[in-house]
């Protein structure tokens, strides 16, 4: 087991803590050595003091075509939110490429966006191809494929480079899931999440189905809230631990933990 140290990345809108990563743009050497190679997920804590760009991520096919890397399907768990905070989650209708391009050129893309209010504990799944933006006043746990590809469609006049043509080409069906509190467990083709509430004591063992050392078999435990110990090490909110297959886990204290597994 390892307790991982965050790599902080300052942004014009706030900052990101890369808390589990073997990606070259936020490389945790100890974690890479523990995995024995490339870990397929990237886990972050995002602090948005201001609104991020309106963006979209490519799926595996488009990412391989444009950037020769993985796509970027992701999800958010809301750690904290100011009252009445919103985020952009999809489009509010069906728009063709020409309509979106004209809206971007006219600085009116905001009229095509779907806004949703969120609160602490809410969960948002963002498959590649979904238009989205994190608004100011949010702190999020983000679990995603290990990819750092973002195509900005619109940046609210801040002057940063946008990637309109690639971004529009990556947009998929605008239908989105209902935003709601995290449903205890979630699974998609790339990762699975399970919320575990510990009151006093919890024990488990990490599965080792293959019997071989494979980076994707590493399991992560993120402390959402509370405090205690994990295998004897102090554990507080936003700490993250990495467990190897076959390893026993003992948690003492009163805390809420998100178990994160690659698929």
Residues tagged active-site: 152
Q: Shortest CA distance to 18 belongs to which of 46, 39, 37? A: 46
Angle at 148 between CA 143 and CA 151, to 5 degrees: 110
Q: Coil, strand or helix: which one is 30?
A: helix
What sign has the CA pseudo-torsion 152, 156, 160, 164? positive
Residues sharing a CB contact under 8 Å with residue 211, sequence separation 6 or more, in sequence order: none
For residue 225, with 0-12 CB atoms within 10 Å meaning exposed, 13-18 middle and 19 or more buried, which class applies? middle
């Amino acid at each position: 087991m390892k307790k991982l140290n965050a790599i902080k990345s300052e942004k014009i809108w706030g900052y990101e803590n890369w808390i589990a990563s073997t990606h070259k743009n936020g490389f945790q050497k100890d974690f890479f050595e523990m995995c024995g190679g490339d870990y397929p997920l990237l886990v972050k804590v995002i602090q948005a003091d201001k609104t991020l760009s309106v963006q979209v991520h490519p799926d595996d096919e488009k990412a391989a075509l444009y950037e020769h890397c993985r796509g970027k399907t992701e999800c958010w768990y809301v750690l904290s939110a100011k009252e009445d905070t919103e985020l952009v989650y999809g489009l509010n209708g069906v728009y063709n490429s020409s309509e979106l391009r004209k809206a971007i050129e006219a600085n009116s893309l905001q009229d095509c966006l779907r806004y949703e209010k969120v609160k602490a504990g809410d969960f948002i799944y963002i498959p590649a191809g979904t238009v989205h933006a994190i608004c100011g006043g949010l702190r999020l746990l983000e679990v995603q494929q290990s990819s750092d590809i973002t195509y900005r469609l619109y940046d609210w006049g801040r002057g940063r480079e946008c990637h309109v043509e690639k971004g529009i080409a990556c947009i998929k069906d605008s239908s989105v899931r209902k935003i709601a509190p995290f449903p205890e467990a979630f699974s998609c083709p790339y990762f699975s999440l399970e919320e575990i509430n510990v009151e006093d004591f919890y024990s488990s063992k990490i599965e080792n189905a293959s019997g071989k050392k494979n980076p994707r078999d590493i399991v992560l435990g993120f402390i959402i809230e509370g405090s205690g110990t994990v295998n004897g090490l102090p554990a507080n909110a936003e700490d993250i631990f990495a467990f190897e297959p076959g390893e026993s886990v003992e948690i003492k204290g009163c805390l809420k933990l998100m178990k994160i597994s690659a698929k």
